[in-house]
Structure 1
């Protein structure tokens, strides 16, 4: 029977839309099926009804990988009207006893303000920033191809240097480099994005990549919210004939329209639910073993003014890692790994109006926060998060106008990929990042001809970069349609 469409993409997060755009630009007829009523997955911006006109980013608010992404570089978000604002301070680590650590775009300024540990910080990141293009190519690749930049003496030296730093900061040797408390805390706050025990190779790898990007390009905030990125992707897809159907949840392959290719911006669990009965046993068993990680619980605030950080410099950063010293954060993350809640949890906080003043409406602004909790936690963490921020910003409670919490167990209600509150769509571990979602020469293939996984559960992993979708779509184009990957540049829409 003739296919009803060329390709079907299930899920409309950044990866799903990146896949759909890539396929549509190659001239294919593409249909996107989204279970929720709004598109965007982890990059939606919505009015939660907490204050008139104040909108909140449902998952991602700051996008360290957006400027580094080869997909977005070619797609050219700026040419499509997406304004990615980059504050001078990418992230901050407030401390109870003394000045905070601030990671600026300028590596030199960052080091200068770290005092006795400044030289050590500069030595840690100087070579990485100098070779950030090679590291980015390696980090955002498909984990199966050698990046061209690596196949040069400079690239090889950069990779060896990065590996040495990875093992230094990912093991118990992590304390040897620094003498004070601020610099190691500044590093560990970024490592905690992995929601893993500290120290760990996965955490160190996360920190090395994200901190290098902070000094090389900065951590951008989209003007108007993360939904601006989704809007640009959707507009391009529809301009090339693609269709999006929202409120369309798929539970079995029998409900799918006939197509030559199916790309799933979902977890392996959803893929198994839909296609499991037709998968080869070895693939089904491997995907069933896929491990999901610990969780985040979300707190959205409406604030009457800036957060009154004890160190005012903290308020200039797009992201604040609220956890105290390296030892405090490591202890809190170890409790989560053991299935317990920390009294002073690891908290990530952002005030998007730092870079985008237009987010302030009638004197009110959104506050964005995550707390790390055990998978499946049903706890309302509003008080714990508020108290943790208050420790480093006395008077924070006085600027809180309203708030709402989404416990980890409820995160999947607005994004099915967040199983138990796992916002990375899979545990961030050394083995997991190498063999995600299963050990295979083609991590995107589902073992059924024409069926691919293209979510954060496949290489290169979590983050708003679109590369998982782009990698999978390029494979589908080559193997199912024998078509080359198309140009993504805006001029191609003419």
Structure 2
């Protein structure tokens, strides 16, 4: 068999980022993927009816162009292009005026009325200084390059979302904030839950919430094409069970969660390290539905029909209760639902005149409850007649998601809860959590900083360490 400088297990965004970073430095690399196709969370398939292209996992990509790694490589040259909706996100309310996130900061400030200036004080510094903040937040904890910017961000980011919500006066501003913060998939009174809300709003104004033309698979395909152009190799259909089943190599990078890491034989990990992995905490799971639809979703709030993502959950208190219930293992009959209709903006997704629908809600980890009717009822409250447009559907329970992608333990799409105890110290308490106890084995999955999302930064940081440790090569973004 061929010999490699590095083997990377997993072809999600982090696996590709690690492999590309290593290959760019002239190393010989191989990506090993268990599934029959590459992509990880970036796959698009006809899950319902012929001609309807559904994003299997991720769909809308606020971090795609906000990621220092993704911005550093010429993916547009390899076929990747994005569509953008009129509004980045919408948050309809029952019996009251809903709100939207405009690309323009000033339009959003005007949209929020009396809450506009407080919104400006929170979000303008993030949007304005994102490139600096990204260098200090999208990776492991370390000495900041821009300490003043980081300190200003951190004062707000470390707070529970429920604390910052108290500064808003109107229900629509509180609701918009709740929907953003709830992307963190944890109770909104947890410390650091403001961080994700600040980032999503800030990068929304800076870059927009991108919709990849042709589906999320297009991101994976562009990463694959670029990687192959550098001379990299890929092998699909190979589930790693024992390290010694791999070709000879110097370093191994694993785009895997701690649970999978523990199942692989031959890694030579220390008992102390494995003990820490056993203590790693998973977060809530998700229940996801894809629909083939006869027409656009009839939201009563017309602006919700023109938004990349619709946050369906009502008021701040409604969303906070839903997230708290899911975290505590309880079923919510009115869950917070994240919904998108990509076919509104990318006509390649469905037959002419028809549409796709994509949605999920947060549920207790490993829940066995069928949330199909619960999710559809919640959408129906804000879009009466939605159920009548359904031509076909496909569901993913937490168990089915984990079966599809073993990184989603119990349906946890974030690779572990991102609470204060695991925000930067994931999966172990270490200044360099991408290293394992075996000096030739690295972890490059979303179970390492900066966590979940299609940004590739976990892979970049793992590869950066491997280059420094074994090849005396220093890289930066």
TM over 0.5, yes or no?
yes
- Unaligned segments of structure 1, at least 5 residues: 488-494
In 2: Cα distance, 1:126 partner to 1:144 partner: 25
TM-score of the superposed pair, with normalisation by structure 2: 0.96
Q: Does 1:349 pair with 2:324?
A: no
1:193 is displaced (CA, Å) by: 0.8
State which of 85, 91, 94 in structure 2 corresponds to 1:93: 91
Q: For residue 410 of structure 2, give the secondary structure of its aligned residue in structure 1.
A: helix
Assess if the C-alpha contact under 8 Å between 1:382 and 1:404 holds in 2: no
1:420 is displaced (CA, Å) by: 0.2
TM-score of the superposed pair, with normalisation by structure 1: 0.93
Q: Does 1:159 pair with 2:150?
A: yes
Alignment of structure 1 residues 86-485 onto 2, 5 Å: 86-146=84-144, 148=145, 150-151=146-147, 156=148, 158-167=149-158, 170=160, 172-275=162-265, 278-485=268-475
Change in 2 beyond 3 A, CA 1:332/1:276: farther
1:393 is displaced (CA, Å) by: 0.8
1:145 is displaced (CA, Å) by: 4.7
Change in 2 beyond 3 A, CA 1:335/1:117: same
Provide Cα deviations, 1:330-375, integer angstroms capped at 9, x if missing partner. Answer: 1111111111110011111111123323323232222111111100
Q: For residue 93 of structure 2, give the secondary structure of its aligned residue in structure 1.
A: coil
Q: Could you say what the CA RMSD is over the residues aligned between the two structures, in angstroms? A: 1.8
Assess if the C-alpha contact under 8 Å between 2:54 and 2:349 holds in 1: no
1:384 is displaced (CA, Å) by: 0.9
In 1: Cα distance, 2:77 partner to 2:236 partner: 27
Provide Cα deviations, 1:263-309, integer angstroms capped at 9, x if missing partner. Answer: 00010111121157621121111112111111111101111121111
Provide Cα deviations, 1:20-74, integer angstroms capped at 9, x if missing partner. Answer: 11222222221111111111001111122x2222111111001111111111111
- Unaligned segments of structure 2, at least 5 residues: none
Q: Does 1:77 pair with 2:75?
A: yes
1:128 is displaced (CA, Å) by: 2.5
Match of 1:67 in 2: 65
Provide Cα deviations, 1:76-99, integer angstroms capped at 9, x if missing partner. Answer: 222332112233411111100122
Change in 2 beyond 3 A, CA 1:4/1:163: closer
Assess if the C-alpha contact under 8 Å between 1:264 and 1:454 holds in 2: yes
Match of 1:491 in 2: none
How many residues end up aligned between the 2 structures? Answer: 477
In 1: Cα distance, 2:179 partner to 2:314 partner: 9
Change in 2 beyond 3 A, CA 1:194/1:483: same
Provide Cα deviations, 1:357-403, integer angstroms capped at 9, x if missing partner. Answer: 33232322221111111000122211111110111111111221111
Match of 1:47 in 2: 46
In 1: Cα distance, 2:131 partner to 2:471 partner: 31
Assess if the C-alpha contact under 8 Å between 2:267 and 2:441 holds in 1: no
Provide Cα deviations, 1:170-209, integer angstroms capped at 9, x if missing partner. Answer: 1653343111211011011011111100122332111111
Q: Which piece of structure 1 moves more, 425-434 or 110-119?
A: 110-119
In 2: Cα distance, 1:13 partner to 1:200 partner: 29
Q: For residue 164 of structure 2, give the secondary structure of its aligned residue in structure 1.
A: helix
Assess if the C-alpha contact under 8 Å between 1:25 and 1:486 holds in 2: no
In 1: Cα distance, 2:3 partner to 2:77 partner: 34
Assess if the C-alpha contact under 8 Å between 2:444 and 2:458 holds in 1: yes
